[in-house]
Structure 1
Amino acid sequence: MPKRYVLATAVAALVAVSSVAAGCGTSAASSNQVSASSSSSAAAAGKPSEGGSITLDAIQQVKDLDPARADDTQSMEVVEQLYDQLVTFNQDATKVEPMLAKSWDISKDGKTYTFHLRDDAKFWNGDAVTAQSFIDELQRVMTKSVGCPYVSYFDIIQGAQAYYDGKASSISGVRAPDKDTLVITLTRPEPFFLKLLGMPFISAVDASYIKQVGNDAFDANKAMGSGPFELASMNQSQVVLKKNPNYWRTDSAGNRLPYLDQVTLNVSENSQADAMRFEAGNTAWLGWNTNGIPTSAYPTFKSNPKYSQLMVQAPEPGVQYLGMNVKIAPFNNQKVRQALEYAINKKQILDIEGGRGTIANQPLPPSVDGNVKDLPSDVQYTYNPAKAKALLKEAGFPNGFKTTLYSSNDSDQLRIDTAVQSMLANVGIKVKISATTWGTFLTKNESGKTGLFWLAWMEAYPDASDFLYALFDSKQQPVDNSTLYSNPQVDGWLNQSQVEMNDATRTKLFQQATVQIMKDAPWVPVYYPMEDFAVQSWVHNFYINPVMMDPLENVWVDPAHA
């Protein structure tokens, strides 16, 4: 449900070198592994080496540091290192595991969750993490002035809506019987509620610190978390994270995490330069923050044995799409939107991306339960410029129209933009490209003011609602549902899916909603990514989780690179 925008895509299958402890237990490594040769005795023995630093490139700036507001991949990459949540996911996101909650109980009626917290976690300033730390954050999420885009995801908690509306001074469904016990009571059972708590939005926060610096600074450049790394510095071109020496997590051998002393992320909009720095051994990997291996460098990586052995390819539970705001003319005309479904040559766009993906025919990727295996013929849109022109004529635009395509300004995205511009020109639509920095683009798009835009969505937790409810329910306008799509029937199906406990019934609801959404055509689903990334041989314990960012607390490097 909580969103993660991605600029182009990132790998979403697990890639692990070895396992580390998560919360109370040790997670087993996946069979999909990266083998990295090393001459160091520590690496040869599989023993982590403490210390050292790594540098990573990031193609865009961090937009939000506040965990209540961070919802894009660039921001989440940093926020997930700074803050801890109640629960987390195992390495392949198939299971919810303990984090700051060492255990929990769920009542028989499925409405009351009792979390038993660790008593050894502290914020970087030494303040203790307690149950109140989570209550404080939930109250921030449900405070209008904070600007959390996910208020509706937590209004299922008793009293949350009343608090948000200013009709109550506290949230009645959240309480702390003691400092290490948190009780959350819902108005009704929700099949995926526990998964929501693994997202950064309900992190442990230090309310006294936030009061001291203010919400704006807390979002812009001030942080106080309990996570594995502390924020050392941040500006428009660089973010530096330093080790939290008192972090509570340990690996399976009892070694305190994180291993690294420092992580530096340098903002660079030049993907070719990103690839060159990796080739020179200056950066640790090409992954989330560079959209994997840049398209321009992909042929070289693929053909050169030196780099091909460092590559990993895997499908991502996400989708790249062309969005149309149904409240902005001429996209308020269904026939215009359907015309664009036929005007886009999805295979050509895939070719631009080096063939790294499969053509999409609906918002839900094939790996997500709820995907419709056999769509009705009237929503099986294929590339057909003649059909697109005919629909434009029926819509009252025989000569096409002028519009603007909004997107981020990284180099791979600009290649896609240019292709879309050409395809739409072929059916009479004259497109002006407006490509800006990631933060500028997101701010405009989340305000519901972009008529035509290119974006991607990556699964934030393993459930179809993270795609369909987040992106197409009327209540999610304009932040997640930035097409401003609204259909009462679809809303009904999606809202029922939020509380339906029977898996088969939920799947049917998602499939009904998908078919109707494709008929209404607020999106052109273009492709499901197959991303390639590269990890240096001297990097260990790196893996990619389908719903989380880089596990920086687990990574260690050969002593020679420390």
Structure 2
Amino acid sequence: MFCKLFLQKNLTKLTVISLFSLASLFLPGCSSNGTQSSADSKAKKHLNIGNNTDPASLDPQLATTVPESKVLIGLFEGLVTMHPENLTPEPGVAESWSVSEDGLTYTFNLRKNAKWSNGDPVTAQDFLFSYQRILTSKLGAPYAYSFYVVKGAEGYHKGSTPDFSTVGFKALNPYTFEITLAHPTPYFLALISHSSWYPVHKKTLEKFDGLEKRDSPWTRQGNHISNGPFSLTEWSITDKITITKNPHYWDSSTVQLDSISFYSMDMLTEERSYQTHQLDITDRIPPAQIPSYLKEHPEQVYVAPGLGTEYYAVNTAIPSLKDIRVRKALSLSLNRKGLVEHVVQGGQLPAYFFTPPNTAGYTFNDPTYEDIAEAKKLLAEAGYPEGKGFPQIEILYNTTDRNKQVAEAIQEMWKRNLGINVVLVNQEFKVYLNTRRSKNYQIARASWVGDYVDASNFLELFQTNSNNNFTNWNNPEYDALLQTAARTNNQVERMGYFQQAEAILMSEFPIIPLFFYSTVYLKRPNIKGWYPNLLEYHPYKYVFIE
């Protein structure tokens, strides 16, 4: 009875057309025409993945979230990819490359059999066009700042250099692409494996007016052209995305899956769908159920450390939040240990600084721990003894059960420890992203998952020119330290600059770190080619069902 009632309640997620689903708790697969059971998945080489929420965009130059990344990995391929186990750079569209002795010029030799999903060849000109597009300021690409390592890119993006030919990108011929850097960048090959460096199809963007528009229909099914191992065949908004093996992909013989579906589901629905064989992999596990799964089905629980931080962003332009003493008091009054042990319960670590520990050997050495007495003192010094006179503040979060539970716990801590009244505001994911981007919030739930394993990927988030910095905070000294670190090859010196920069960040508190991620979700044991790594990077071309 459970499965029938569950499926009836979730018709938007799983289409039910017959009553045999009633028996799903007693038979191997509770299936419908909307999804395939694990048995069907084995026969048809189809993978069903829980993806938490509907992606805001499938434009690789505009995407910023994990649900988007999970889909884009299957749809696109850059010059360089990463090894699925150890994350070392591997050939992608570029079959080989060379680096000049001074470390400034990279020459990429493109595969002549690389094609778009419509059969068009992928050429050096495609990369040149794509990189000019992401640096076009009108597009508002959130990762444009990551291109500043390239000679002339920052000036072009900011408008001081209108001539794109001065930027260090050159299509030497259809299959040779050259990139000249502004300074040696040790992590450059890891950087360009990120989705923002994927190429986009010029003719398609021109057809659908997508050169500068964020909401262009070029990303919809029937319009979308990509160059990866899969292509987009279905996007039912707020429900399901399906990608299907791309026969034009240069390495299609390696791809064993025929198709993958990504479902937008809340955490409880995902877990129930996994129980009834509607999903092969979930995005998360409800915290209260983790212990029972570890005891009864440990072979199905995927646990690995993650390179990510959950935090609250503070809008420093809000009058009551401009004072550093207030922001520090908010941070000092939180019991992060209790938060991870009793609320999120997924093996996360309390975060007393921003960059995850041991990120390529870097760990911030001056953490700020809970200190309620100091928090009360700071709030009183700011003019709000015991919270008296402090205006009510809002916490904005995107709608999920866990985000609500975290917000409620912090709401209670701030009321109990500081006497501050907090109102919770939840919004659907895309609305929340727009609200946060427009800086129309007071305190907002946020997170950052590493794009590559280097502390710069975390700390550069809060530079003044970063489109991912929505706190209204900036600090010229902070910017200068990170710019110096970017130009420094000596790793010891780089780490020193990172320490100084994070010390500034964690003394002014435009953010309130909460916890460092761990990865805990359900995965069927017969899913192979899915390897644990810090970035949760799983290229589907290597994944298969045993």
Both structures adopt the same fold (TM-score exceeding 0.5) = yes
Aligned-partner SS, 1:543: coil
Cα distance in structure 1, aligned partners of 2:219 and 2:322: 35
Alignment of 1:188-337 (within 5 A): 188-215=183-210, 216-219=216-219, 222-236=223-237, 237-249=239-251, 256-269=253-266, 271-286=267-282, 290=283, 292-304=284-296, 307-337=297-327
Q: Structure 2-normalised TM-score?
A: 0.86
Aligned-partner SS, 1:313: strand
The answer to whether the 8 A contact 1:228-1:257 is kept is no
Aligned-partner SS, 1:320: strand
Return the offset for 1:274. 1.0
The answer to whether the 8 A contact 1:62-1:74 is kept is yes
Q: Does 1:416 align with 2:412?
A: no
Aligned-partner SS, 2:328: helix
Return the offset for 1:218. 2.4
The answer to whether the 8 A contact 1:405-1:417 is kept is yes
Q: Which amino acid aligns with 1:381?
A: Y
Match for residue 98 of structure 2?
Answer: 105
CA distance 1:361–1:78, shift in 2 (3 Å): same
The answer to whether the 8 A contact 1:494-1:510 is kept is yes
- Higher RCO, 1 or 2 (CA under 8 Å, sep at least 6)? 1
The answer to whether the 8 A contact 2:169-2:177 is kept is yes
Cα distance in structure 2, aligned partners of 1:404 and 1:552: 40
Moved more, 176-185 or 160-169: 160-169
The answer to whether the 8 A contact 1:317-1:458 is kept is yes
CA distance 1:361–1:516, shift in 2 (3 Å): same
The answer to whether the 8 A contact 1:69-1:148 is kept is yes
CA distance 1:70–1:107, shift in 2 (3 Å): same
Return the offset for 1:94. 4.5
Return the offset for 1:214. 2.3
CA distance 1:548–1:372, shift in 2 (3 Å): closer
Aligned-partner SS, 1:300: helix
Cα distance in structure 2, aligned partners of 1:320 and 1:481: 15
Match for residue 88 of structure 1?
Answer: 81
Cα distance in structure 1, aligned partners of 2:91 and 2:45: 28
Q: Which amino acid aligns with 1:394?
A: E
CA distance 1:369–1:242, shift in 2 (3 Å): closer
Higher helix share: 2
Cα distance in structure 2, aligned partners of 1:544 and 1:204: 27
| Superposed CA offset, 1:198-235 (max 9, x none) | 11112122211221122111245542111111100112
Return the offset for 1:169. 5.2
Which structure 1 segments of 5+ residues have no match? 1-47, 251-255
Cα distance in structure 2, aligned partners of 1:373 and 1:211: 46
The answer to whether the 8 A contact 1:542-1:555 is kept is yes
The answer to whether the 8 A contact 2:49-2:262 is kept is yes
The answer to whether the 8 A contact 2:528-2:544 is kept is yes
Q: Which amino acid aligns with 1:328?
A: I
Return the offset for 1:241. 0.9
Match for residue 32 of structure 2?
Answer: none
Q: Does 1:462 align with 2:458?
A: no
The answer to whether the 8 A contact 1:406-1:453 is kept is yes
Out of 507, 510, 522, the residue aligned to residue 522 of structure 1 is 510
Cα distance in structure 2, aligned partners of 1:544 and 1:71: 22
What is the number of residues matched between the two proteins?
492
Match for residue 359 of structure 2?
Answer: 368
Cα distance in structure 2, aligned partners of 1:510 and 1:169: 32
CA distance 1:92–1:553, shift in 2 (3 Å): closer
Q: Structure 1-normalised TM-score?
A: 0.83
Alignment of 1:532-551 (within 5 A): 532-547=520-535, 549-551=537-539
Alignment of 1:550-561 (within 5 A): 550-558=538-546
Match for residue 55 of structure 2?
Answer: 62
CA distance 1:328–1:371, shift in 2 (3 Å): farther
The answer to whether the 8 A contact 2:365-2:499 is kept is no
Cα distance in structure 2, aligned partners of 1:50 and 1:259: 12
Return the offset for 1:58. 2.2
| Superposed CA offset, 1:237-268 (max 9, x none) | 21111111232226xxxxx1321112112212
Moved more, 166-175 or 484-493: 166-175
Match for residue 173 of structure 2?
Answer: 178
The CA RMSD measured in Å over matched residues stands at: 2.1
| Superposed CA offset, 1:452-481 (max 9, x none) | 1122211110111001112x21111xx322
Cα distance in structure 1, aligned partners of 2:360 and 2:519: 21
Cα distance in structure 2, aligned partners of 1:372 and 1:203: 30
Match for residue 74 of structure 1?
Answer: 67
Cα distance in structure 2, aligned partners of 1:513 and 1:309: 42
Percent of residue pairs identical: 27
Out of 331, 338, 341, the residue aligned to residue 348 of structure 1 is 338
Cα distance in structure 2, aligned partners of 1:302 and 1:155: 45
Aligned-partner SS, 1:474: coil
Q: Which amino acid aligns with 1:342?
A: L
